[in-house]
Amino acid sequence: MNPKRFYALVGLLALVSGTLWIVFWPTRAAVSPAAQRASSDRIRELEAANAQLREEVARLTQQTKVQAPAAAGGGATCSIPLPTYHYQDSRPLHLVFLTNPIPFQYGGQISEALWIRDTVLSKLQRPVLTHIIPEKEKHDTFFNDSLVVCLFLKRTMYFERARAAGATNVGLYWMGDEKYEHDRSFIPMADYVFRNYYHSELIAEHPNLHWLPNGMKSGLGHASGIPSTLPLASQRSLLCNFLGSLRSHRKDMLEHLKSHDIHCAVFVNSWEDKSTKHPILYRFTYLEHSKFTLCPFGNNPETMRHYEALEHGSIPIVFHYKDPKLDVLKAFGPNHPLPVFKSFHELPEFFRRFENDAAALDELQAKILTWWIARKDELMTQARNVIEASFAKKYGHATEAAPPMPPCSPVLGNAMPTS
């Protein structure tokens, strides 16, 4: 639309409005009946013209507005309070790292420390005090009201000593155990246990055991919610990416895609490789530029690639797992919108469906982001409620008045750009 035409119409509207104002200005002079009729006719004409001009200006104003896309992750909204310290009167939770929380590339042992501190505990309504325990002291350092994070630890011995020392209200964040080989005798000793890597039978067997996603490397993810600045899938330059070691089935997958002239950005690494590219570089170089992220199995059907892709608006390519009790798709819930495949041989046809259909690609991305925002909030709310219930059990509900919190209700709207 020509801006000159728009502003000319606005000026004309102002002129007509001014004319009406003058016509209606009260006067004491005598007016003949014929003049009154002529004046009334003129007023009606001006009112009709004024109404038409208002309609035209409204139409042109709507036309000239820049139609900004709704936030790609804007399907689920929750009010975000400003930082306050109104929980300082509550007893703190002690977050105790018994395993070095520095990422692998810097000589540590845990990549997900910020996921635990800033996302898993994001809905907790009490202060969190973080402690990093030296290696030589990790089996003999105990806190009341604590969540203990460990990867390599004799957990049963730790809880036996903690209980003997009188420690109470002690939960465990159980990392590792991708192959389900760890000793489990410690589970009843803990007040509650959060476990990575889904196992439906194990969860059913232990009422105090709760599954949580294994999250993502520190430097990936968003503690305060998925930003609306993520590019739409159709705006991304890379079709797909893969980060990981090239085990046989992964190599076969990439070779199959290559044979169909489908080329993914591949960064080969090993999980223990301290020269691994920094997560921020992976995020800015691959994740936020990729329409899809390949998520083949590792030692477990659940992989951090799932969550790294979800957090950055890259559509995860997920595969069915043969054992349903270990399948993370069960934990995702029956209504997840993720694309799931029995074999990587199905991928070329799937990718071709979106070659010339940007709207369908962006719609799939929006559905997945909307679902993930709501599902993540539900899981973090569950973690908060478990911890608060443990405090209330120890101190009594009158002292620790923190009733269960419902997850945010997603507000489903148009998550696609309008034309």
Each residue's pLDDT tens digit, 298-324 = 888 998 899 999 999 999 999 998 888
**Nearest-angstrom CA–CA distance, 167 and 164:** 8
Provide the number of structural domains found in the chain: 2
Q: What is the CATH number of the domain that holds 146?
A: 3.40.50
| Phi, then psi, of 95 in degrees rounded to 5 | -90, 110
Q: What average pLDDT does range 378-405 have in this prediction?
A: 83
The predicted structure's pLDDT at residue 297: 87
More confident residue, 78 or 211: 211
Q: Strand 93-97 to strand 146-150: parallel, antiparallel, or no bridges (unpaired)?
A: parallel
SS3 content of the chain, % helix, strand, coil (to 5): 40, 10, 45
Across 264-415, the runs of DSSP E, i.e. the strands, are 265-268, 290-294, 315-319, 340-341
Let me know whether 246 and 182 are in one domain: no
H-helix or E-strand spanning residue 193 = strand 192-195
Q: Which band of pLDDT confidence, cut at 50, 70 and 90, is reported for residue 89?
A: low
Q: pLDDT (tens digit, 9 = 90+) per residue, 265-299?
A: 988 765 444 444 566 777 778 888 999 999 998 88
The C-alpha atoms of residue 10 and residue 222 are separated, in whole angstroms, by: 45
Of 105-109, 123-127, 236-240, where does the model show the most confidence? 236-240
Residue 6 lies in a domain: no
Q: Is 80 helix (H, G, I), strand (E, B) or coil?
A: coil
Q: 322 and 205, same structural domain?
A: no
Across residues 177-201, what is the average pLDDT? 92
- Domain co-membership, 285 together with 204: no
- DSSP H helical ranges for 176-303: 200-205, 248-259, 279-285
- Rounded CA-CA distance 81/279 in Å is 29
Instruction: Please report whether residue 22 resides in a domain.
Output: no
pLDDT at 395 over 60: yes
Tell me the residue type at 254. L
Q: Which of 336, 339, 217, 335 is nearest to 287 (CA)?
A: 217
The confidence score (pLDDT) of residue 336 equals: 95
- What is the tens place of the pLDDT at every residue in 116-135? 999 999 999 889 999 999 98
Is 12 among the domain residues? no
Tell me, yes or no, whether 345 and 240 share the same domain: yes
Residues 260 and 174 in one domain: no
Question: Two tokens at 40?
Answer: 């009334």
Instruction: Judge if 132 and 203 occupy the same domain.
Output: yes
| pLDDT attached to residue 285 | 80
Instruction: Tell me, yes or no, whether 253 and 337 share the same domain.
Output: yes
Expressed as residue numbers, the domain containing 346 is 233-372
Amino acid at site 200: S
| Within-domain flag for 227 | no
